[in-house]
Chains A and B, each alone.
Chain A
């Protein structure tokens, strides 16, 4: 099941710079997208979401962009902090699917001081 893909397994960024995490999807019926952050041995922590009727949503240092024509979303973190180092998952859901979230494989972000 490759409906949601994160093609970069890892990303390294300098503290203070921008982190850009990417996610592609194939199912045009997805209408809600979320980003979660996960530390080892913990559950996913919700970061930010976006509905398919929008193309941008911002919350503090986190901004999610949605390009429906390209079936692509990205998470921007500005400025990046060492505490942002974690695995980031994008997830998508489709109406009338019982709330089922389809996750990407995750991208491990490392923010270096």
Chain B
């Protein structure tokens, strides 16, 4: 069964450093998403992406965040200058469509900012 994969599974970084989280969505999906879950809190939407453009972003997704589809298979989330409060589990998801379509999630990357 096709699945979303994410690398790395864990990342530890120093505050102020840049991190890039990588995702390989399900191959025939065209819509991609990033979510995060801070420990003990809800899963929160960050951004959706289609046709090389951001479709929607949350207020969390500020200028420190960016997304890119650098090639035909990868989808990345970059945090330019990490803060302590960026420590969270980051989930990538993909779907066939944007409206009333199931989003399938990857296993997540646990990011710890020290």
Residue ranges of A at the interface with B (Cβ–Cβ < 8 Å): 31-32, 34, 36, 41-46, 49, 51, 89, 91, 93, 95, 97-106
Contacts and interface: CB of A to CB of B under 8 A. Distances in A.
Contact of B105 (A36, A41, A93, A102): A36
Contacts of A103: 42-44
Contact of B100 (A44, A51, A102, A105): A51
Contact of A98 (B48, B102, B108): B48
A100 B45 contact: yes
Contacts of B95: 99
Interface string B32-43: 010100000011
22 contacts: A32-B99, A34-B102, A34-B103, A41-B110, A42-B108, A43-B6, A43-B93, A44-B91, A45-B105, A46-B102, A46-B104, A51-B100, A95-B99, A97-B56, A98-B56, A98-B57, A98-B98, A99-B31, A99-B33, A100-B45, A102-B45, A106-B42
Interface of B: 4, 6, 31, 33, 35, 42-45, 48, 55-58, 91, 93, 95, 98-108, 110
A35 to B, nearest CB: 11
Contacts of B107: 41-43
